[in-house]
Amino acid sequence: MKYFIIAGEASGDLHASNLMEQIKKMDVNAQFQYFGGDKMKEQGGILIRHYKKMSFMGFISVAKNLDKIFENFNLCKTSITQWQPDIVILVDYPGFNLKVAKFVKETTKIPVHYYISPKLWAWKEYRVRSIKKYVDRMYTIFPFETDFYKKYGYDVTYVGNPILDSIESKKKTFLPKDEFLKKNGLDERPIIAMLAGSRQQEINDSLPIMLSMQKYYPEYQFVLAGMEILRDNYKTIQGIENVKIVYEQTYDLLNVSFAALVTSGTATLETAILRIPQVVCYHVKAGKLGYNILKKMVKIPYVSLVNIISRKEVVKELLGPFFTEENLKIELDKIVNDTENRNRMLQEYDAMIADLGMPGASRRAAIHITSMFKEY
């Protein structure tokens, strides 16, 4: 069968590559064309457009690159029309992918499947209408998404969370702590990991406050989970000269850490699955005004995936005007020096992990996708 897959960012590239790997195990004749990245390319097939040429974040960036966005969309339409795949598989990235779904359903008879639902339960809920109209099958990765879609009369298939797969696979290659410390030039003090985000702006906003914690905890070493692509950018952050940076080893770093300071996003869930107590930090521009606007836009009471999945406050979220040096010190004390609070958080992590289910999301999604062809 011929599979056309669209992933528009690094995480989508990873999860789509794992899906491709599983599809090949079930369909020995599988052929792939895709918008994606290097990890998908490792699985074979034809890479039509790299996600690095598709990643435009924020209104201003989108406005400045409208010509490139239209070019990407037209290339996608032409590729699908000419190749005539047996199925189109969309991976998150809703701004682009929902437009593709509309095009495919209105101009062809090709089934459209969606792996990893957009976070419509947080904002832009109106997009559910497009999903109901243009997506034949939705595979979700959070258990609460089943109820979310059910209230709109749309049945979805929960396949589990692919982060469990990634971490389970990575555990096989974790170095013993002493070897990891030696490899990265770290000393024997307990580690407080800093996960400051993947975009330069959020690093500029969050990392200085994280770094300010060093003077309060000299008995700990603060280590930044760095990205190679941002190596030069880190040098511009005041206070960074006193911190070790471990590049492209986030899971390995968390595995040997005592606590973590984490910007909101997928990293909060990864930190929890690896059972590291954390404080969630999220800077919001324009202070209280920006924070209040964000609260009105977001339809859920929490921003961290740990709390969203648990449906209660498991980890402390310091958002907007509450993300200050003073508040971060108070909350970091609770997970570093308060054993009872640490144990409570770890117990809540275990309950959340149990709700997510077993690893194998990409395998289960591949089973559903390859078995659906008989329906069309």
- The residues with which 49 forms a beta bridge, in sequence order, are 35
When the pLDDT of each residue in the chain is averaged and rounded to a whole number, the result is 90
> ∠11-280-304 over CA atoms, to 5°?
55
Number of H-type helices and E-type strands within the chain: 18, 13
Split at pLDDT 50, 70, 90, the class of 286 is very low
Residue 111: closest CA among 129, 75, 140, 84: 84
- d(C-alpha 216, C-alpha 313), whole Å: 26
Q: List pLDDT tens digits, range 186-244.
A: 999 999 999 998 777 778 889 999 999 999 999 999 999 998 888 888 888 888 888 99
Extract the tokens encoding 300. Answer: 């859920």
In this prediction, residues 169-180 reach a mean pLDDT of: 94
Closest CA to 363 of 16, 115, 22: 22
Q: Given a cut of 70, is residue 125 above it in pLDDT?
A: yes
> Counting every residue, how long is the chain?
376
Stated as kind and residue range, the H or E segment containing 197 is: none
pLDDT of residue 287: 53
What share of the chain has pLDDT > 70, as a percent? 91
Domains of the chain plus CATH, in order, are 2-160+360-375 (3.40.50.2000), 167-356 (3.40.50.2000)
d(CA 248, CA 266): 16
pTM score: 0.86
> Mean pLDDT, to the nearest integer, of 156-181?
94
Collect all residues with Cβ–Cβ distance below 8 Å to 195 and sequence separation of at least 6: 225, 250, 260, 261, 262, 263, 267, 271
Per-residue pLDDT, 268: 95
Beta bridge partners of 319: 282
Cα–Cα distance between 335 and 328 in angstroms, integer? 11
For residue 376, what pLDDT is reported?
Answer: 45
Q: Tokens at residue 304, please?
A: 């961290």
Structure tokens, 324: 């200050």
| Region of poorest pLDDT, from 80-89, 100-109, 111-120, 230-239 | 230-239
Question: Residue 199 has what pLDDT?
Answer: 75
